[in-house]
Amino acid sequence: MFLTDTLKNKMIQNVFYSFVICFLLCGPLVKSIRTNRLHGEIGNENSPLQSGISEEWRAVPWAIDDLKLGQVSGVSLDPNDNVYIFHRGERKWEYSTFTNKNVYTGKASGPIKDSAILIFDSEGRTLNKLGANMFFLPHGITVDNDFNIWVTDVALHQVFKLSPNSSKILLKLGEEFVPGSDSKHFCKPTSVAVLANGDFFVADGYCNSRIMKFNSGGKMILEWGRGTSGYRPDNYQLRVPHALTLIEDKGLLCTADRENGRIICYTTKDGTYATQYSSEFMGSRLFSVAYSSIFGGRLFVVNGPSSSALIPVQGFVLSLNGQILGNFGSGLKNPHDVATSSNGSVVYVVEIGPNRAWKFVYNNPGTTVPQVTETPKLFPQESKPAEINKSSDDGEGLTGAILVTVSCFVFAFGLLIIIMYYSKSKKSGNGDTKRLLSNREY
């Protein structure tokens, strides 16, 4: 049987209309299923998003609350738990700060006049101020086991190593104001992590989406990572590796893969993929991660504003097997970096807009935070990502959505057939419906 072009076009239009009807009927319903599920999870007293499931944290005032800070981009602790803040003074990162080729546009303004590095004790009393007239747009800060200070400047496209408690430069990598992607250039580097033997890693984050390993003398010995394409990045596709933390007792380096919404970990020896952490409860943007060996290992993660109003901006405490143990910082707006004390009982978070540094203290009545004394077990490497809180609810929610969608399609298509039949019959009788089936018979 053959159909005329007119009839073919009408059938195509009708199929299209059925899809439109299905979308209009099912879209809100499917979205409602997922939204209600997420609302239910947030409201459930057993949800990992409820404060104090197994850990409780409270914000405490400290001396630097009264300081006027610029955009606070980084925070780190030294071996004595002194706090190092990296901020931008009067300088701001705005839309016009870089050209479309990642060249900094504010060079003529000169370096930031204020001391960009502020050092405090755990109570917030000022110990030192460093880095005046040195930096143009600060980003990450790390203090190693020997109290050396490592910083990144995204405007200069450089990495600096400063001697303890001073502004003396011991090592400088990258070419000033020149972005690049080879072994001697960076493009807006974000963070540094330093091994006990002096070797170190740099997250070359905003442009190159790579992680680089250097020996203690500053020679690059390893590189991995590339930009993300598509919605399902593989284990080496990164999208703004924004912060680094070492799980050195287990031979791992983890990065907050910001725009991919995950914490992803590699071996420190050769950059082999080990595992990753992500969850719809933490959202699609994870800005920073810090590690403490307390209780066999804890990761402290802060997310950032996302497209979903259901995902609050806050911090999360994770076990290394991927369980969300608690959350902190319900008053956070735009966290940029996180650091934790040596025993994991205090967490510091810095924000950009509002420009503030927060201090959160572990406060679970009747529970103390012990020092880790036993020899840690080796962290198991995994061949596939380790998902957080992967429960039967995920499968049930997906199955329900699929069933609802299929049912809507059937209903919409049936409704369309009835409408077509009624319309044709009303115009020219039942005999006209036969002409839809075969033009050759009449």
Is 273 known as a binding-site position? Answer: no
Q: In what order do the strands lie in the sheet with 241-247?
A: 241-247, 252-257, 262-267, 273-277
DSSP conformation class of 52: T
Is 210 known as a binding-site position? Answer: no
Backbone angles phi and psi of 426, in degrees to 5 = -65, -35
Is 75 known as a binding-site position? Answer: yes
Is 348 known as a binding-site position? Answer: no
Kindly tell me the sign of the dihedral angle through the C-alpha atoms of 341, 84, 249, 163. Answer: negative
Is 440 known as a binding-site position? Answer: no
Is 336 known as a binding-site position? Answer: yes
Distance (Å, rounded) from C-alpha 176 to C-alpha 171? 13
Q: Are 181 and 202 contacting, i.e. CB atoms less than 8 angstroms apart? A: no
DSSP conformation class of 294: G
DSSP of 296-331: G-EEEEEE---S-TTS---EEEEETTS-EEEEE-TT
Q: Are 77 and 341 contacting, i.e. CB atoms less than 8 angstroms apart? A: yes
Q: Are 288 and 306 contacting, i.e. CB atoms less than 8 angstroms apart? A: no
Q: Are 192 and 142 contacting, i.e. CB atoms less than 8 angstroms apart? A: yes
Structure tokens, 382:
């995994």
Is 242 known as a binding-site position? Answer: yes
Q: Are 79 and 120 contacting, i.e. CB atoms less than 8 angstroms apart? A: no
Separation of CA 70 from chain center:
23
Is 394 known as a binding-site position? Answer: no
Token look-up 């902190």 returns 328
Other beta carbons within 10 angstroms of residue 385's beta carbon come to 15
Q: Are 348 and 357 contacting, i.e. CB atoms less than 8 angstroms apart? A: yes
Binding residue numbers for Cu(2+): 242
Binding residue numbers for Zn(2+): 139, 336
Binding residue numbers for a protein: 88, 206, 258
Binding residue numbers for Ca(2+): 75, 337
Binding residue numbers: 75, 88, 139, 206, 242, 258, 336-337
